[in-house]
Amino acid sequence: MAMPNPYLQYQEQSIFTASQPDLTLMLYNGCIKFLHRAELAMQRQDVPSANDALLRAQDIILEFMTTLDMEHEISHQLMALYEYLRRRMIEANIRKDATIVRECLDMATELRDTWAKAVKLSRGQVG
């Protein structure tokens, strides 16, 4: 019988106990991680790995898109950003263009950093 991996158990538990804002931050971090992987895979000309990483990043963006509450104006603005980001990821995957992946990575990082600041502000944390 295989021993359970303590890191995987911790990771799973942290997901189940995280708040909605923290889960969103985790998803942004996952998207960034997959975009990094895609960029590195393209630099190595590892097409299958680049494709897999980009598809995973696209799935995260699609999750953001499907969970937006469109009753708020900010949601319409985020939808436009997410749609653009997803289209660029698809284009990067078709063209195998690391420059486009870098553009997506920069945009996703900026979105994540903005979200992290908003979460801190909402919790009354400064910095």
Residues whose CB falls within 8 Å of the CB of residue 114, separated by 6 or more in sequence, listed in order:
none
| Mean predicted lDDT score pLDDT of the chain | 91
Could you give the number of structural domains in the chain?
1
Query: What pTM value is reported for the model?
Result: 0.85
Domain limits at 79?
21-122
Whether 10 is covered by a domain: the verdict is no
Q: Across residues 11-29, what is the average pLDDT?
A: 81
- Looking up residue 78, the CATH number of its domain turns out to be 1.20.120.340
Asked if residue 8 belongs to a domain, the reply is: no
Supply the pLDDT for residue 77.
96
For residue 110, tell me if it sits in a domain: yes
Provide the residue type at 53 as one letter: A
pLDDT value at position 124? 86
pLDDT in tens, 65-84: 999 999 999 999 999 999 99
pLDDT at 74: 92
- A 10 A CB-CB count for 72 gives 10
How confident is residue 7, by pLDDT bands cut at 50, 70 and 90?
Answer: low
